[in-house]
Amino acid sequence: MTVEIGFLGPWQIKIDGQPVRLAGRRRVAVLTRLALDAGCPVGTRQLVADVWGQTSTATAGKQLHIVVSKLRDTLPPGLIATVPGGYLLDLPRDQVDAHRFTLLAGQARMARERRETGTADELFRRALALWRGRALAELTDPWAQIESRRLEEERLAVFEDHIELRLAAGDHHAVVTDLAPHVQAHPLREGPRAQLMLALYRTARPSEALAVYQEGRAAMVEELGLEPGARLRRLQHAILTRDSSLELVTPVQAGPIVPAELPPGTRSFTARHEEVDWLREALRHEGVAVVDGSGGVGKSALAVHVAHAMAGQFRDGVIYVNLNGATPGLQPLPVADALGHLLRSLGLDGSAVPAGLEEAIARYRSLTAASDLLVILDNALDADQVRPLIPAGAGCRTVVTSRYALTTLDHARHLHLAGLGDRDAVTLLARIAGPDRVQREPEAAAKIAALCDGFPLAIRVAGARLRARPDWSLSDLADRLADATRRLDTLQYDDLAVRASIAVSHRHLREEPSGHDAAHTLPLLGLLDTPTHTPAATAALAGWPESRAEAALERLRVARLLESVGRGRYRFHDLIRLYAREQAARELSEEERAGALRRGLHHYLATANTATQLVHPQVQEPYYGADQPGVALAGAREAREWTGAERDNLLAVTHQAAGSADPDTAIGLALGLHMPFNYRGWVTHLADVHLKAIELAARHGDWAGQAQAENYLAWAYRDQGRYEQAIDHLERAVTCWDKAGLPHRRMGSFNNLGIIHTMLGRFDLAHANLSRALDLAEEINEPYAVGAVLNNRAHLLYREGRFEEAIAQARVAVARWSGTLYGEGSSRATLARAFMHAGRLAEAADTYQVALTLLREAGYRIGYAVTAWWSGQTMHALGRHAEARRDWHDCFTTLLDARLLTRAEVDELRRQAVPEMPGPIRNML
């Protein structure tokens, strides 16, 4: 069966030439969205976002499945295929009118470049004949409106290209008739207005041509406040002076063939739709467009792809120069050599090319002053190399690609190119290695794309290796890439190599005096397993002042070896991280590596210890000191902010330390994270960390370290609801404290045992353990510890139904904890719970509000969330429903901000009349 889909006008679908009716806007929208990417997968999330938009609900995915099922009932079998993560319209692109239009237009432009005027004219006419009205007219969704405008812009460009061809062929009489209504409909488009002026002049109607100019000028001044552009002004002057250049040039009179120097486009070019549109738009309006990004990210491929598509719009041709700014094994092209290339492309022979640099620059500007030329300056080193090579003419356009942003270039628009998304990366792999192989092993294909970090160069190497080894499965290659020690070796094939691409930027830094610190820093950063790098941590690694480290990081960012992910925070791409690790092993001695790593880990140990003392001053001095000063945190708020910003880095260095030969650092980090993480509600993230610390402490006979780690692991298990395991570890902690000769430290373990037995309803055991904890706290005369035990005993008492005793005990705890935001806030929340269970709801409500204020000021987010939840329950019981919703909202928002609930979970809770208790706080008193 032959299926044809059309939306360049009223929507239609034909099967074997017969129209087929689709019922329902969403069926039309889904099929259209798939048709726009015919032959390529479209993700389920993308379809839901585009078609369901802001009305999207939790059932949108199911609705999409139903819509696809209904479409399959109507369409031929297999036309809509299910692929990993989405759907694919398995239809040749030329059977969708929009794609056929693009194909025909491209063929027409290529025929024009080959001087095949008749063929080009026929192809242009066929392309334009596909239009039957406004594209996607029936669809009003934002994505459809964007596509409609894009397609309309393409139609106008093709129409105007066709007019240009017809003018060159002497068809000016007919052009006037076709072009006049077009200019009237689009009064601000200068290109067609210039074409109409020229056509009128050639039909001996110069006064009308000048009137067209004046009409355009009036429209532009009125609507834009701008005078016409240089092209229109030059044309007006030429008409007034009857410039002979306006006459039709016959083939005999024609000058030399215009340059057409573009290298072949990449046949596997994939996705980049937004970037392509951006570059095309930039070239319509700006003189210079700069595309920057890391090596191997696809800058050259994008520039060449767009240049091929737009080459026909530049009557004086296209010149391409590779400036070798980051070419392995080659030095950057000197400006004089690049100018020589440009001048020869413009028709000067060897002896006519000026020998002096300034003279050559002047000659180049003179030759391009009145040109309509596209210049591609690929692989530039810096702005100094590019600046003399930009053509002078207002009708000229320049595309520059570089690893550097080149922000000092005047009047340039800038695009930073990042790696491909997961879906596009898999599509690129399929185009190179073969779609059948990818379809057979979709999970392995996704793994390869992820290990290539979205870098097109890396994916091209992977695809080339697969294509060269048909006996390999995708899983074979994925397993090779998964080995980080040889991934860069695997990503090397023939003349393609990821390592060499990265090494060029590193070499440039070594060669530049201002880049020496950055070059030295790169391998040092490879020593730390942190997801991001900060100036403070880098300063510790290098043994430098923080300002010097920050300058080195910024220099690496400029060289595209790091990327910025927020103020004072930088990140590697995975492949560059592997290169940095390789360089660390090659460039640094074992002693240098060990010293730098210890400095980096101790930077985090010192700052975690400081954060612990600031957020919870009642904690005893840390057992494990640090060699580094760490960050000078000014107070509890700054400590909490630092913990939030560095969470992932702290977890990473703690895991890394556990695998090092330094058990004290590993144990110290594990213990140092507990209190700062507890305030944020992240204790459960530390279970694996504490388990490893227990193993290390036991292996090295560190009884005190093991005891504290056992205690903290039990805390994490308690919050996860793993009560029996928590009890086992607390009992081990008691034994370890005895072996460490610190029996008074058993107090915390007995206290936690009392909490867990309370939650399990084992009230006798709870009383026994809390009594032991209280005896030890009073023995060492520690008021804060006494307050903690009394606070927990109040929870036990109201659960036993001894409400008045619970209230009295909670009041004593408040008195003992008075003056500490965390303690007083927690004990007042306990008092409010006792009031609530006693049925004294008004007193409970007032007490909860005081507790919430204190806990908010303390920054104890998880305690605040628990208290806000119970306050909401109390307000609801009192019939104060607005206040209840407010408190529940605060609870959910706090848990969302702490990344303990997702947005979807919060939305579901908010839809409930009386929300159920959120999972992250169900196991807390």
Q: What is the pLDDT of residues 872-913, one digit of tens each?
A: 999 999 999 999 999 999 999 999 988 888 888 999 999 998
User: Does position 249 have pLDDT exceeding 60, yes or no?
Assistant: no
Partners of 157 in beta bridges? none
Tokens describing residue 460: 């091209």
Tokens describing residue 816: 């003992």
Q: Who has greater pLDDT, 386 or 558?
A: 386
Report how far apart, in Å, the C-alpha atoms of 363 and of each of 315, 333, 358, 391 are: 20, 19, 9, 11
pLDDT at site 202? 85
pLDDT at site 494? 63
Report the alpha-carbon distance of residue 807 to residue 813 in Å, rounded: 10
Q: Can you give the C-alpha Rg of the chain in angstroms?
A: 35
Model confidence band, residue 446 (pLDDT cutoffs 50, 70, 90): very high
Q: What is the pLDDT of residues 666-718, one digit of tens each?
A: 999 999 999 999 888 888 888 999 999 999 999 999 999 999 999 999 999 99
Model confidence band, residue 782 (pLDDT cutoffs 50, 70, 90): confident
Region for residue 902 given its phi and psi (left: phi exceeds 0; alpha: psi -120 to 50; beta: otherwise): beta
pLDDT at site 885? 95
Q: What is the pLDDT of residues 125-149, one digit of tens each?
A: 999 999 999 998 888 888 888 888 8
Q: What is the pLDDT of residues 313-325, one digit of tens each?
A: 888 889 999 898 8
Q: What is the pLDDT of residues 76-122, one digit of tens each?
A: 888 898 888 788 888 888 889 998 898 888 888 888 877 778 888 88
Q: What is the pLDDT of residues 291-310, one digit of tens each?
A: 999 888 889 999 999 998 88
Asked if residue 675 lies in contact with residue 612, where contact means CB atoms within 8 angstroms, the answer is yes
Partners of 96 in beta bridges? 5
Q: What is the pLDDT of residues 745-769, one digit of tens each?
A: 999 999 999 999 999 999 999 999 9
What's the average model confidence in pLDDT over 226-249? 81
Q: What is the pLDDT of residues 843-883, one digit of tens each?
A: 999 999 999 999 999 888 899 999 999 999 999 999 999 99
Q: Give pTM, 2 decimals.
A: 0.60
Residue 292: how many other CB atoms lie within 10 Å? 21
Q: Of all residues in the chain, what percent carry a pLDDT higher than 70? A: 97
Q: What is the pLDDT of residues 455-495, one digit of tens each?
A: 888 898 898 888 878 888 999 999 989 988 888 888 887 65
Q: Which helix (H) or strand (E) holds 320?
A: strand 318-322
pLDDT at site 351? 54
Partners of 380 in beta bridges? 402
Burial class (CB in 10 A: 0-12, 13-18, 19+), 780: exposed
pLDDT at site 692? 94
pLDDT at site 38? 85
Asked if residue 121 lies in contact with residue 166, where contact means CB atoms within 8 angstroms, the answer is yes
Q: Which helix (H) or strand (E) holds 730?
A: helix 723-739
pLDDT at site 62? 84
